[in-house]
């Protein structure tokens, strides 16, 4: 039941799910990384330090993402400029939880525990018409129990959670490496400065090497900050989705215990 709705309404249609083909970047990621790195080194030699560092960040993304790079770009734009989840099934969770919070007066107390308002036995609750609600409606009618109900809910949650984790890890990897590349540029510049030290050394002689040291450090830090900011959006979505899932599981258990009836809104 959950799998059927997943195929009809869920993640596969979005083109953002993970599978066997996305277990790793593979040879494409490696060769892409080497090709872009070679171009970045040429720009570094030509003293275009910002473009060189920017290309290195792309090279690292290609290394970890491979053919998933376009999916990562699309997902990053969606989470940065939209409040909606990138996979429809997670959107159904969000929509359903919003309605359940309203009808059941769900809230968290000071200890972080979920609490609900009073609910009578056999109460009827109207929820929005989406595949998750219809699956839960069928589960309650067939009295499948809380474990099966939460399994159904998990099917709507897990794909989006995996995608967020996956892309967050890619961006965090690049954000962690960029300062190290900036440090390498700093060391290269310092080595050049020490090589030119002598009795006739002037500021003009050391300026190019000093520029390498300062600019690569700066650009590495700036790019790391940018990738960290984008990665933080995925982290926020993970926390939001986890919260909604916890609320959903609690609400399902509450509905089962009170023999509630789910009605689909027209």
The 3-state secondary structure of 218-265 reads HHHHHHHHHHHHHHHHHHHHHHHHHHHHHHHHHHHHHHHHCCCEEEEC
Rounded Cα–Cα distance for residues 34 and 65 (Å): 14
Instruction: Break the chain into its structural domains and give their ranges.
Output: 2-22+85-264
Question: What local confidence, expressed as pLDDT, does residue 6 receive?
Answer: 46
Q: Considering only CA atoms, which of 36, 35, 28 is closest in space to residue 52? A: 36
Q: Are 171 and 230 spatial neighbours (Cβ–Cβ below 8 Å)?
A: yes
Q: What is the per-residue pLDDT for 152? A: 87
Half-sphere exposure of 31 (CA within 13 A, CB side): 4
Q: What is the pLDDT of residue 234?
A: 94
Helix axes 131-142, 203-257, angle to 10 degrees: 30
Closest to 141 measured CA to CA, from 265, 260, 1, 6? 260
User: Cα–Cα distance between 251 and 255 in angstroms, integer?
Assistant: 6
For 262, phi then psi, to 5°, come to -90, 125
**Residue 17's pLDDT is what?**
58
Between β-strands 261-264 and 124-127, what pairing exists: parallel, antiparallel or unpaired?
A: parallel
The confidence score (pLDDT) of residue 115 equals: 75
Among 163, 134, 152, smallest CA distance to 14 is for 163
In contact, 93 and 248? CB cutoff 8 Å: yes
Series of mean pLDDT values for 10-residue runs along the chain (266 residues)? 46 49 67 93 90 94 90 90 88 91 79 76 87 88 79 89 93 95 88 71 68 88 96 93 89 85 82
């Amino acid at each position: 039941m959950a799998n059927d709705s997943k195929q009809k309404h869920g993640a596969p249609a979005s083109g953002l799910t993970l599978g066997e083909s996305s277990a790793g970047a593979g040879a494409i990621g490696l060769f892409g990384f080497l090709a872009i790195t070679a171009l970045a080194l040429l720009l570094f030699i030509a003293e275009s330090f910002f473009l060189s560092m920017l290309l290195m960040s792309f090279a690292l993304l290609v290394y970890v993402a491979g053919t998933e790079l376009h999916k990562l770009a699309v997902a990053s734009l969606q989470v940065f400029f939209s409040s909606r989840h990138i996979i429809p099934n997670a959107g159904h969770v969000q929509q359903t939880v919003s309605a359940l919070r309203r009808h059941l007066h769900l809230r968290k107390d000071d200890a972080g525990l979920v609490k609900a308002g009073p609910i009578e036995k056999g109460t009827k609750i109207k929820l929005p018409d989406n595949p998750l609600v219809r699956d839960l409606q069928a589960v309650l009618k067939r009295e499948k129990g809380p474990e099966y109900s939460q399994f159904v809910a998990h099917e709507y949650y897990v794909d989006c959670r995996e995608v967020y984790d996956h892309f967050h890890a890619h961006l965090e990897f690049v954000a962690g490496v960029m300062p190290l590349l900036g440090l390498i540029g700093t060391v290269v510049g310092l080595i050049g400065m020490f090589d030119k030290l002598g009795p006739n050394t002037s500021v003009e002689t050391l300026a190019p090497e000093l520029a390498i040291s300062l600019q690569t450090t700066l650009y590495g830090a700036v790019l790391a900050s940018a990738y960290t900011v984008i990665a933080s959006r995925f982290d926020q979505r993970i926390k939001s989705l986890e919260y909604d899932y916890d609320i959903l599981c609690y609400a399902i258990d509450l509905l089962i215990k009170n023999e509630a009836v789910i009605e689909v809104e027209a």
